[in-house]
A = this chain, B = another copy of it.
């Protein structure tokens, strides 16, 4: 994979996804002592950057492949994105979901016209059920991140960011499976080779940081974090790209993630999900190292249950430092 895959994705999906704005916040800049440029993928269709990769994957299929539809197992933003991308192309989508998945997420996927197939809430059951679905329908499995078309699609967010904002010293994304990070790394290596690519990860799901240190993929086991988009292990395709281009993966505590999330809501007046707040949390931890820098951050998504905000409850104490 290389930059040309991302360029091709940008052409393919250009009319199908939003070109999201880049916002800045002088209050946050003053607090951290640098200039931060936030690429607002929380404003993307389905509320997350996942729409980019899913759209690229779906619109890369041949007519013959597309006719059979697409399938995935996910209860998160990828499922919604794949369902909507399939709807845009007018083809079937099959989404395997654990029985316990939140009603609101099931409703969103069903609302885009996808067929939901229930399974038991284990990885083994998910994979077995997906295999059955693929066998039955002939649908093309679109992995949420370990897929070249997905990586190329996610990279288009950084492409837009770097086209709009010049002279960035650092480009940051959160890291879960590594789709957004790998795509961002490919783009930055070509368009801003002097900039560092840095990822941020919750301490309770720090498999990517440990993998980068070890030089091989260390799977995520029993992750525990409020950033529920970042629980997965790194993909096989993603890891070599990350190893080649990513300078560092910084880990942050859930308390700091929630404080950064709340700071963003309060000062920027935008809604981001916990997984999107890890980069700002890491920036605040590393403000001495980054002092005076121009930092681009990709805000990955904004899907939050507004009836159950994560700072309701016993976290107030930890949020006073902001």
> Shortest distance in angstroms between A37's beta carbon and chain B's nearest beta carbon?
14
A141 within 8 A of B: no
Q: Are B302 and A311 in contact (CB under 8 A)?
A: no
Contacts of A47 in B (CB 8 A): 269
Contact of A306 among B43, B262, B302 (CB under 8 A): B262
Shortest A29–chain B CB gap in Å is 13
Residues of B contacting A43 with CB < 8 Å? 23, 268-269
Residues of B within 8 A of A306 (CB): 262, 265-266, 309, 311
The smallest C-beta distance from A14 to any residue of chain B, in angstroms, reads 16
- A302 touching B269 by the CB < 8 A rule? yes
The residue in A268, A269, A312 that gathers the most chain B C-beta atoms within 10 A of its C-beta is A269
The answer to the question of A181 belonging to the interface, with a C-beta cut-off of 8 Å to chain B, is no
Q: In the assembly, what is the distance between CA of A271 and CA of B306, in Å?
A: 11
**Considering only CB atoms and an 8 Å cut-off, how many residues of chain A contact the other chain?**
23
Contact indicator A42/B269 (Cβ below 8 Å): yes
Please encode chain A, from 294 to 307, with 1 for each CB lying within 8 Å of some chain B CB and 0 for all others: 00000000100011
Q: Which residues of A in the span 213-272 have a Cβ within 8 Å of any Cβ on B?
A: 262, 265-266, 268-272
A21 within 8 A of B: yes
Separation of A272 and B302 alpha carbons in the complex (Å) = 15
Contacts of A272 in B (CB 8 A): 269
Chain A residues with CB under 8 Å of chain B are: 21, 23, 26, 40, 42-43, 45, 47, 262, 265-266, 268-272, 302, 306-307, 309, 311-312, 316
19 A-B pairs in the complex with CB atoms less than 8 angstroms apart: A21-B21, A21-B23, A26-B45, A40-B269, A43-B269, A47-B269, A265-B271, A265-B306, A266-B306, A269-B270, A269-B271, A269-B302, A270-B270, A270-B271, A271-B271, A306-B309, A306-B311, A307-B311, A307-B312
The 5 closest A-B pairs by CB, nearest first: A269-B302, A269-B271, A42-B269, A270-B270, A43-B269
